[in-house]
């Protein structure tokens, strides 16, 4: 029963983390398009609160509950699909930190990229989510 509670909390954490990973780059799109100081300050505040208040805690919770599940089911570590999934989670973590660095560039007024770049950048977590879910559900290897 404990395992199921941990699994549920892991899934909730993943959903919250992905919500932030989908929304922050979308904020970057609008921020890159904004012209007035009031809008830019509003986006800086929204981006900071989303990243620090939701995304970071959700990422940490995802890791904690995922590690806890692995501790309770160490046999999974011998399965190839899990290695692929964990590799993609590391890539996702890198994307998360790239988002954080970009958030700081916006806050410092140093953004050099267009809204079109961020529209494409926003698609990366969609592809990672698709691959991770397929690996976990289908377990192809």
Q: Is 104 annotated as a binding residue?
A: no
From the DSSP assignment, how many helices (H) and strands (E) are in the chain?
6, 0
Q: Does 10 belong to an annotated binding site? A: yes
Contacts of 135 (CB under 8 A, 6+ apart): 81, 82, 84, 85, 88
Q: Measure Cα distances from 50 to 4, 68, 107, 138 in Å.
A: 28, 26, 14, 32
Annotated binding-site residue numbers for heme: 10, 85
Annotated binding-site residue numbers: 10, 85
């Amino acid at each position: 029963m404990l395992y199921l509670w941990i699994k549920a909390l892991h899934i909730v954490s993943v959903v919250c983390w992905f919500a932030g990973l989908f929304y922050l780059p979308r904020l970057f799109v609008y921020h890159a398009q904004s012209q007035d100081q009031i809008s830019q300050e509003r986006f800086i505040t929204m981006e900071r609160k989303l990243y620090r208040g939701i995304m970071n805690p959700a990422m940490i919770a995802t890791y904690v509950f995922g590690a806890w599940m692995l501790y309770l089911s160490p046999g999974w570590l011998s399965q190839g699909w899990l290695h692929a999934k964990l590799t993609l989670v590391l890539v996702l973590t890198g994307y998360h930190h790239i988002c954080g660095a970009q958030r700081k560039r916006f806050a410092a007024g140093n953004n050099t990229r267009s809204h079109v770049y961020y529209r494409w950048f926003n698609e990366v977590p969609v592809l990672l989510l698709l691959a991770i879910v397929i690996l976990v559900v289908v377990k192809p290897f």
